Amino acid sequence: MGKKSRRPNRDKPKAASTAGVAAPRQVITSTTDDAVGTFNQLCASQDWAGLLEVESKMNVIAKTFERSNPSSAGSINFYLGSAHKQLGREGAIEEATLYYQKAVEMAKKAGNNVILSEGVLHLSQCYAEMNRVDEAMDAHKSLCDEIAKESMNPNAILSFAEILVDKHEHTRALEIFEEHLEAIERSWGKQEQCRAYEMIAVLYRGKNEFDKSNVYCERQLPIAKATKNVESEFKALHGLGHNFGCMGDYDNAMTYLEQALVIASEWGDDEYRLGTIYSAMGDVLVAQEGREKEGLLMFQKCVGFFEEGSEGLARVFFKTGQAYRLIGAWDDAIACGMKGLLIAKSIEDENLGNKLNFVAKAMEYMGNTFLEKCESLPERNDELIRTALFWSESAYNLRSSGVTLALYLDLAQEHYFLGDSEKAHAVLKKYFDGTVKLWSSHCQACYRTCAKDAIMEKCSVCKVARYCSRAHSIKAWKKDRLCHKVMQLCAHF
């Protein structure tokens, strides 16, 4: 059991590949030295080792060109920077950064937008590789200030968006795309357009703005089909299926996911895709009352498509456990949660914060499961609540960044049921502080952002929670275990 995943983070936007240098092979026009001709040939063949052999000589020539021919000086510096970057020797990124900085300076002086665009693109990537993200962002901003949007290298915009995503500035990434949307639609190539639409769709999906995400998935899909970009077509279909499922349009969701499944089945060399589609189908099925067991079977089916010990496999166990919870199979739900927790603890991640947060999320699942099991019983079981509190507090103490609102609510209820009203009130205040603003425009059942003028359903018990529809209000009351009565009792503390 357990197939190796080749694409562990399929939903995250990626910058365009930079394996090779995309700079123009601009010929240096001066013939003051035979070295220039040799340099031109080495650039044309991308002979990086050969370029470094003439590095000292070309540095001298570039210096003499700074006044008379700054465009050529920029080209020399650009290619020497690329040689260091591509060969990756000790200190290569630092050396490449210095050359790209000089290339950008000369390109601005010469008014050479081609070298300027490429220079800033590679300079920002060097900064990002050295974790100097703010400088990478400043470099991109200077590019936007210097070059008309129609003249900018699309890869520079895609790269900038990737840097912003890595910095968790998703709103800013969307703003960048909005600033360049007209140029994207009119002057970008099909491949770059497709990539941009994919990134925009993913960014809107991350904001739970699924209708907007669909707009860009639908723009991406025909381009992907026309250019025979099967990878992009798969992602667009998967995205549409996920979005429609979150919006409650389950028929459309399954239609798109089934189309994505056909592509994944024909791929043959990457079973991870099959796992992601079966998992998405399971999500759609368990969201429909009466189809929870079908969803459970789908989750069980996709287990074998994820690498053993991977985060993807852990997430499948949590989803399987949630499906068991919906049908009241509490022991199976707890067993699945423990399997997911053990995997989460064993995952190797260079970013310790990411690992701790994932383990904390697994502990939060365990606490929530024990609490729900207790609430399903005719009488309260304090031992189950103490177990739930143990897991919830463990998750709270382990969080390296940001405690989830759901965890605050679990803790508030656990303290309340165990008779510690003071702690329940204190934690619930944190819950309210984080949710009241959200609830003015977010549905507490699906977390979808509603229009500002939308008339939302308000919970008749706690008078705080809001929903996009009566159906979602009923769903939250029955399944999401918000415990509105506790909220009502504690709301004024």
CATH value at residue 10: 1.25.40.10
- Length in residues, the chain: 493
Give pLDDT, residue 280.
95
94 located within any domain? yes
446 located within any domain? yes
163-208 pLDDT per residue, tens: 788 777 888 889 889 888 888 888 899 999 999 999 999 999 988 8
Point out the domain boundary residue: 157, 188, 219. Answer: 188
398 located within any domain? no
Give me the domain span that covers residue 66.
Answer: 1-188
176 located within any domain? yes
Q: Is the pLDDT of residue 6 over 60?
A: no
Whole-number Å distance between alpha carbons of 39 and 78: 12
pLDDT grade for 464, boundaries at 50, 70 and 90:
low
Query: Long-range CB contacts (< 8 A, 24+ apart) of 49-57?
Result: 49/83, 49/87, 51/79, 51/80, 51/83, 52/80, 52/83, 52/84, 52/87, 55/80, 55/83, 57/33
Whole-number Å distance between alpha carbons of 450 and 468: 7
pLDDT grade for 14, boundaries at 50, 70 and 90:
very low
Point out the domain boundary residue: 188, 215, 238. Answer: 188
Contact 477, 450 (CB under 8 A): no
pLDDT grade for 484, boundaries at 50, 70 and 90:
low
Point out the domain boundary residue: 188, 207, 225. Answer: 188
Read out DSSP for 313-332? HHHHHHHHHHHHHHTT-HHH
Is this prediction's pTM over 0.75?
A: no
Give pLDDT, residue 158.
86
99 located within any domain? yes
480 located within any domain? yes
Contact 81, 18 (CB under 8 A): no
Question: Which of 46-55, 304-313, 361-370 is the most confident on average?
Answer: 361-370
Residue type for 195, please? R
> Half-sphere exposure of 222 toward its Cβ, with a 13 Å CA cutoff?
4
196 located within any domain? no
pLDDT grade for 428, boundaries at 50, 70 and 90:
confident
Q: Count the domains in the chain.
A: 2
Mean pLDDT of the chain: 82
pLDDT grade for 38, boundaries at 50, 70 and 90:
confident
Q: Find all residues with CB under 8 Å of 282, minimum gap 6, and list them.
A: 295, 296, 298, 299, 302, 319, 323
Whole-number Å distance between alpha carbons of 46 and 86: 10
pLDDT grade for 441, boundaries at 50, 70 and 90:
low
53-76 pLDDT per residue, tens: 989 989 999 998 998 889 989 999
Q: Is 458 helix (H, G, I), strand (E, B) or coil?
A: strand
Q: Is 378 helix (H, G, I), strand (E, B) or coil?
A: coil
365 located within any domain? no
